[in-house]
Amino acid sequence: MIEELERRGYEIACIAGCSMGAVIGGIYAAGKLEEYRNWIESLDYLDVLRLVDVSFRLGAIRGEKVFGQIRKIVGEINIEQLRIPYTAVATDLTNQQEIWFQEGCLHQAMRASAAIPSLFTPVVQGNRTLVDGGILNPLPIIPVVSSHCDLIVAVNLNATNQKQYTLPVIERPAAFKLRFDSLISSLGSHLPFRRKQAEALLGLEKELEQELAAEAVEVPNPWLADAASPRAQQPSAAPESDGAPKSATGSFIVDNVGPASLLDLINQSFEVMQTSLAQYKIAGYPPDVLVNVPKRVCRFFEFYKAPELIALGREIARDTLDNHEAEKR
């Protein structure tokens, strides 16, 4: 979205975000978006696996590896030193309130705002326990209202009505992808972690490295249901005339229903809450341009799909801005 706005000549005067929006917004405000994009697009399955530092308390991942890399890219910088006003929104669980970071350490603000419950360990500041800002405000519009800009653009990652968009396909080694998905799904299936299970996961990392070097044979994935599984191809009761997608055999393909793991259950519950809250935020402070990104274009742990997601975001941004500019003519 940022790249498409700048390509069209728009000037971004301030930025606010929560969770991944706070991370991308902070990196952009620090002038390091290109470096971050080059890094994130270069990651393959094994690279992402190596960033998973298993935690034994209050979260599946400590997050020190991935946020350590982000710190290297951004450097040591305070929010007051950024080139544009910036707000990262986090949630204070202790005092049950929304927290706005508009000064102080940029890295700590991004880390607190992106501490997804059950996934990343929370950030403790004094008597405050800080987690993902999306718990209370998944679409922080109010922080930018006071900037009095010509246009407020909001990117909603919880859209449910954008069925025309699908994730582009970028080919990767199939055998390694299956084993990686198996590992990541196992991560969610075994929460809360036990030391024995964590050691097994760490041992699997070495096994994956060996398999990649030996070009292992593709194996079935026992953990994840996908389009090839019987569960995903159960016939639907919907009539053919309703435009539902069909498989090669003519039966209707329906979305998987129900969580596949404990972490998936927590994530889906989190998504339901965020979707509802986002609708309230949009109704209370309607943005001039609302960019709706379908929340089902990828699964929870598919951090390695940066190239696909960036391409999809650019497509949605282009279509949305085309419509907005056509209406203004």
Long-range contacts of 38-43, Cβ-Cβ distance < 8 Å, separation of 24 or more: 39/69, 39/73, 40/306, 41/306, 41/307, 41/310, 43/303, 43/304, 43/306
Q: How, if at all, do strands 86-92 and 153-159 pair?
A: unpaired
Measured in residues, the chain has a length of 329
Q: Are 60 and 263 in contact (CB under 8 A)?
A: yes
255 is catalytic: no
Rounded Cα gap, residues 138 and 280, in angstroms: 10
- Which residues make beta-bridge pairs with 155? 291
Residue pointed to by tokens 């259950």: 265
Three-point CA angle 167, 169, 217, nearest 5°: 130
Q: Are 324 and 289 in contact (CB under 8 A)?
A: yes
Q: Which of 55, 92, 132, 261 is catalytic?
A: 132
CA distance 38 to 196: 36
The helix or strand, by DSSP H or E, that contains position 123, with its residue range, turns out to be strand 123-125
Which tokens in the block code for residue 167?
């994730």
Burial class (CB within 10 angstroms; exposed 0-12, middle 13-18, buried 19+) of 97: exposed
Which of the following is catalytic: 19, 113, 118, 185? 19
Q: Do 311 and 199 form a contact (C-beta atoms < 8 A)?
A: no
Pairing of strands 97-101, 289-294: unpaired
Nearest to 43 by CA among 20, 65, 61: 65
Q: Specify the residue for token string 């699908």.
A: 166
Cis peptide leading into 192, omega within 30 of 0? Answer: yes
Any catalytic annotation for residue 132? yes
Active-site residues: which are they? 19, 132
